[in-house]
Amino acid sequence: MKNLLRFIGVLAITAAAFLLGTSWRINNPPKPEIQQAKSEQVTTFTEERVAPVRNNIPSGLNRDELATISLFEKATPSVVFITTSDVYRDWYTQSYREQKSGSGSGFIWDDEGHIITNYHVIKGASKATVTLSDQSTYTAKLVGKAPFKDLAVLKIDAPRAKLKALKKGTSDDLRVGQSVLAIGTPFGLDQTLTTGIVSALGREISSEGVPIRDVIQTDAAINPGNSGGPLLNSSGELIGVNTAIYSPSGASAGIGFSIPVDAVKWVVADLIRYGEIKRPTLGLEFIPRRTTYRLGIKGLMVSQVDKNSVADRAGIRPPFRDNQDKLHWGDIILAIDGEPIQKQRDYLVALESRRVGEEVEVLVKREDEEFTLKMTLEAVK
């Protein structure tokens, strides 16, 4: 009997404890802020995994800003600072002294140490020094110069691990309005980035009194010291060499000019190989393809014939007005040795594969007539 009473008592205590615990949970639910804190912790962890902050780049940047930062960081090791100096004789001490004469920008062309810059950056200098992005400095040797193209090639003896060349793009398919970036060392400062757009194409500037045609115009700020630096597209590819600004005050006024990379490629190839331009030519300049394409014209229309050139002697005609003031379009080059010529690049490739003194057959269209002329290639003068 005592055991039965003891069992009933234990059972009653257990039941009372169960009812008391249930009542406590009903009247005292978990605090909402604790649940919210757990939820926020999970959300934050997920966001950090999806978009972690890398390379000490601050948060809150949009995709375009991140792309520009990435492009700049990848390109700057290829951009160099160039200082030039003159050596003169002190007539009092009869000793030779070196004096800084100027500065500019340049960029690494290949892993052999070739550096591209403007001719006017090194013009008249006795010595040129190249400073890489890691601040290491090398004395440069002049490999070749093209004053009429405002281009020069230097060479430094640096470890290949430090020679990061820019990726070359093309200037044949540029469009007004596309984004561009200019990198240089204006005023002797560290690498500086300016951004803008292609403002115009087919511009003409002058170098050593000789016109440079089909130049790129941009509103990306090109200040003194930017000369010789690269103009890049939004993929980080080289599309031009910054060469000049138009400004009465000498500072950037939103009108800068760059030599298109398609021209730079063949000029640099000649300068590295010969020290000067020896590319075979017919002595022709052409109306930009983007203009003639809208007119439905196939081939390259001649805009100018160099005086006394092989094309001039062969009778190739640029646009002209007759005695009745009627405009006649220039001759159209359709093919060279059977190779169709549709773009400026086709023309350059067709000539670069040949040598000075070689004879070529040129298919020409004049108004409604087609005919073939034999011409002997000459060197660019």
Q: What is the dihedral of CA 281, 287, 290, 295, to 10 degrees?
A: -130
Q: Do domains 76-162 and 280-379 have the same CATH topology?
A: no
**Does pTM top 0.85 for this prediction?**
no
Angstrom distance (rounded) from CA 177 to CA 24: 71
What CATH number has the domain spanning 179-274?
2.40.10.10
Q: In the numeric block, which tokens belong to residue 263?
A: 């021209």
Angstrom distance (rounded) from CA 195 to CA 72: 11
Question: Tell me, which fold does domain 280-379 have in CATH?
Answer: Pdz3 Domain (2.30.42)
If DSSP codes are grouped into helix, strand and coil, which group holds residue 118?
coil
Q: What type of residue is 302?
A: V
| pLDDT value at residue 6 | 57
If DSSP codes are grouped into helix, strand and coil, which group holds residue 109?
coil
What CATH number has the domain spanning 76-162?
2.40.10.10
- Domain ranges within the chain, ordered by starting residue: 76-162, 179-274, 280-379
Phi-psi group of 238: left, alpha or beta (phi > 0 → left; psi -120 to 50 → alpha; rest → beta): beta
Active site residue ranges: 120, 150, 227
Angstrom distance (rounded) from CA 79 to CA 98: 25
- What does the pLDDT profile of the chain (381 residues) look like in tens digits? 555 555 555 555 555 555 445 444 445 554 443 333 333 333 232 333 334 445 566 777 888 889 899 999 999 999 999 999 887 766 676 666 777 778 889 999 999 999 999 999 999 888 999 999 888 999 999 999 998 889 999 999 999 999 999 999 999 889 999 999 999 876 555 778 899 999 999 888 877 666 787 899 998 888 777 889 999 999 999 999 998 766 555 555 568 899 999 989 989 998 999 898 887 889 998 988 778 878 888 899 999 998 889 999 999 999 998 888 888 889 999 999 999 998 887 887 788 778 888 999 999 999 889 999 999 998 876
Half-sphere exposure at residue 16, Cβ-oriented, CA atoms within 13 angstroms: 6
| pLDDT value at residue 172 | 84
223-245 b/e (C-beta count within 10 Å ≥ 16 → b): bbbbbbbbbbbeebbbbbbbbbb
